[in-house]
Amino acid sequence: MKRVMNPLAFLAVILFLSSCTVVRQGEVGVKRTLGKIRPEPLREGVKVFNPFVTRIIKMPTRTTNIEVRLPLPSKEGLTVQSDVSILYRVVGGQAPQIIENLGKNYDQVVILPVFRSAVADVSARYFAKDMHTGQRTAIENSIREQMMSQLKDRGFIVESVLLKSIVLPSGLTKAIEEKLEAEQDSQRMQFVLDKERQEAQRRIIEATGVRDAQKIINEGLTPMLIQFKSIEAFNKLAASSNSKVIITGGGAPLLISPDKVE
């Protein structure tokens, strides 16, 4: 009897384990019984089910990264090779509808086709050089927005689209580098010219100030004031024992040193 019970106990354990599963953090479970999908997702925790008629499908709700390398058509008809990252996640509450309508391979069924359509449409609006320079962010945002317009109602959130590496056609890279270098030289020259203009303006302002000050001084120097200041200065010098003041008739005073008088 003991030999019979051991296999039965072992079988019972196997059946029990096969009827249990754990939905972990960052996942939701979708319950399918006899081919019918339960509309409510299963949240985190241990789930018990009948393995003979029921299956629990687990779906990640954390961010998923898809790496794609593909050619991008440009506005001028060139082809640009690029490595692209698509960061998206599943809306947990819509997981049952995703499984029912798209199946488990939803990335191949809908994510990538929508991406390829959006990236071809958006990149064709830009020149090849724009993908290599400052327009890259605008291109990424446009692709993401176009994908979201088609995927949001299906239960997906596209967090970002990243153009990680851009390989331009032969010869175009050198032309872009030369153009950027010329633009930098032009900016440096413009800086020098602006600095020279500021210095010239400073000199003009300084000269204008000196001129205005001289004008004010000249307007204030009347003949009587000049004569008074002259007499005042010579009187101070005359107080010295080494000088002598001689007043001439109606003219300016003359200062004569004693050693000059015979």
Domain shared by 141 and 242, yes or no: no
What does pLDDT average to over the chain?
Answer: 80
Q: 31-68, pLDDT tens digit by residue?
A: 998 889 999 998 888 877 778 888 888 999 999 999 99
Total structural domains within the chain: 2
Is 201 among the domain residues? no
Q: Which of 158, 173, 188 is the last residue of a domain?
A: 173
Residues 186-198 have pLDDT tens digits of: 777 787 888 888 8
Residue of higher predicted confidence among 245 and 98: 98
Q: Are residues 165 and 71 in the same domain?
A: yes
pLDDT at residue 250, as a whole number: 53
- Is residue 25 domain-resident? no
Q: Answer yes or no: is 100 within a domain.
A: yes
Phi, psi at 44, each rounded to 5°:
-60, 145
The answer to whether residue 180 sits within a structural domain is: no
- For residue 237, what are the domain limits? 223-260
Question: Does residue 124 belong to any structural domain of this protein?
Answer: yes
187-231, pLDDT tens digit by residue? 777 878 888 888 888 888 888 887 777 777 766 666 666 666 666
80 burial type by CB count under 10 A (0-12 exposed, 13-18 middle, 19+ buried): buried
Same domain, 76 and 162: yes
pLDDT at 210: 78
Please indicate whether residue 62 or residue 259 has the higher confidence score (pLDDT). 62
Query: Using one digit for the tens of pLDDT, what is the confidence trace for 72-86?
Result: 888 888 888 889 999
- Give percent of the chain above pLDDT 70: 69
Tokens of residue 40, six digits: 């409510």
Dist CA 224 CA 245 (whole Å): 20
Asked if 58 contacts 29 with a C-beta cutoff of 8 angstroms, the reply is yes
